[in-house]
Amino acid sequence: MAGAARVLCGAEEERVVATHKAPGACPRCGGAVVATDVESERRILCLPLCLKRKRKYSCTRCLRRLVTLYS
């Protein structure tokens, strides 16, 4: 039942497009920052509804998410 409700309500899939080093340092631990480009796609009944692109910044040492930018 939960699977059928998920198909009707919509499922969101995320996939990593690219990962690269970003300038700056983590304000919490001073570790290196990595930028990850992510595409998320929402589907209803197997039909694509919308496509969002995000750039997520995170620390490589403490794994803290720093900022998410939508484009």
Q: What are the pLDDT digits (tens) for 4-61? A: 555 556 677 889 999 999 998 998 899 999 999 999 988 888 787 888 899 999 999 9
Tell me how many domains the chain contains: 1
In a domain, 53, yes or no: yes
In a domain, 5, yes or no: no
In a domain, 3, yes or no: no
Phi and psi based region of residue 54 (left: phi greater than 0; alpha: psi -120 to 50; beta: remaining) = beta
Please, are residues 34 and 23 in contact by the beta-carbon 8 Å criterion? no
In a domain, 15, yes or no: no
In a domain, 71, yes or no: yes
Distance of CA 9 to the CA centre of its chain: 20
| 69 vs 57: which has the higher pLDDT | 57
Structural domain that includes position 49? 24-71
In a domain, 68, yes or no: yes
Q: Which pTM was predicted?
A: 0.69
Q: What own/partner pairs with CB < 8 Å and gap ≥ 24 does 3-10 have? A: 7/45, 7/46, 8/44, 8/45, 9/44, 10/42, 10/43, 10/44, 10/49
